[in-house]
Structure 1
Amino acid sequence: MGTKGSELGELAGDRRLLGRTSTAERVADILRTRIAEGFFPPGARLSEDSIGGALGVSRNTLREAFRLLTHERLLVHELNRGVFVRVLTVEDVEDIYRTRRLVECAVVRGLGEPPFALDGLRSAVADGERSAREEHWPGVSTANIHFHRELVALARSARTDELMRGVLAELRLVFHVVDDPRGLHEPYLVRNREILDALEKGRRGDAERLLSGYLDDSRARLVEVYGGLVADGDAVER
């Protein structure tokens, strides 16, 4: 699976994000966002010439951006074939959820005394519920990712935020393969609301219990569905 001309035209519009001093980090930010959005799906080959031309950056700058995203486990370099968006294994999914459980539950457990700064969580919950009413299921998916990033942001740790950004970006690679945002996320809207309600009432223990069950159920469901796709060979097109 390669990169289409229409996609490259859209990517060229991202040049304005680079400013006058384009750097590998800025290019990586653009590509990371595009990967998270499904613009470059799992298994897609990233052409240096096409993407470099669309963004107006040098081959060396693009290669450095690729290196950064490979380190983040979003890309993989295959000898004599090129750079591809990574296709996760079922074991990867299990590991992502182990990490999420460790980080997210620890953040809730370690919160100080209430009241907590919950505006970000309230916004994410409201966005998800509004998208569901409008039957805009990709919006529900985005709001759910936002919810978990805002939850971790309660720790007020730039390092934890960066870790979670990478973990959730990897997870979205799986979501794009499953391609069922309604089935994956709609059942958890009410659970997001329950976690928020518990935190608003200062009940950290209840919030952690709800979150733990949420992550266990989400992991089991995603492993079941994604595992079936991997077994059937439908996880990627090359």
Structure 2
Amino acid sequence: MLDETQEKLCDENTTDFSDLKALILNCTLKPTPQGSHTDKLLGIVETILHRNKVNAERVRVADFDLAPGVYPDMTEHGWDRDDWPKLWEKVDAADILILATPIWLGEKSSICQRVIERLYGHSGQTNDKGQYIFYGKVGGCMVTGNEDGIKHVGMGVLYSLQHIGYTIPPQADAGWIGEAGPGPSFGDEREDGPPHGMDNDFTRRNTTFATWNMLHFARMLKDAGGIPAHGNSTELWSEGRRFDAPNPDYR
């Protein structure tokens, strides 16, 4: 799965990442066991994580029944079934969250959008410092398709993650698109040579950079005990702390 350069980077790594947990949510529209081009790209990411002893899990979101809504458990708001609480346990435990999605009509998949909405349902929760619950966690995304839109999709996903509190490292997105129009997708076999996209240096480089940057930022945040709470604690703000901010003059 990894090329020579990627293997060498893993072999030469001296940082201990073994206490980190990563959750990869594949937001393909295809349930298991249907093939997923997004899954094939994620194989590179997951291999790098595992080679560095990260506790990484890849989940196909289409295998779950996620009710629409922006509350932690939508069975409390009129829906008969909601599998999100099962996924939330994994999200809550992860130091790194990677959202992966195909491109449809220039946008992230409907499943990816629903995941973001369900994440938003927890945005009012706080950690033990009084910060929003996603502070101290790292986010990133992977994108596949055969039309233009990687940067557009990455922009939307990464903005959403940082808005609710995730830390986004540099170049925390990567993807592959083939020629515009109908054609092969990432990982499709061809008569001669490696599967489509596997030999694309640009995609391999960006996927590698994104994965390592997420690892490095997760390591730094965990070692630092998260993000300092001065100036960003909702609990302290509610108690009247203003962190030296001047009071507005209403005169």
Q: Into which bin does the TM-score normalised by the smaller protein fall?
A: under 0.3
- Higher relative CO (Cα under 8 Å, sequence separation at least 6) belongs to 1
Q: Which has the higher strand share?
A: 2
Q: Which has the higher helix share?
A: 1
TM-score, normalising length from structure 1?
Answer: 0.28
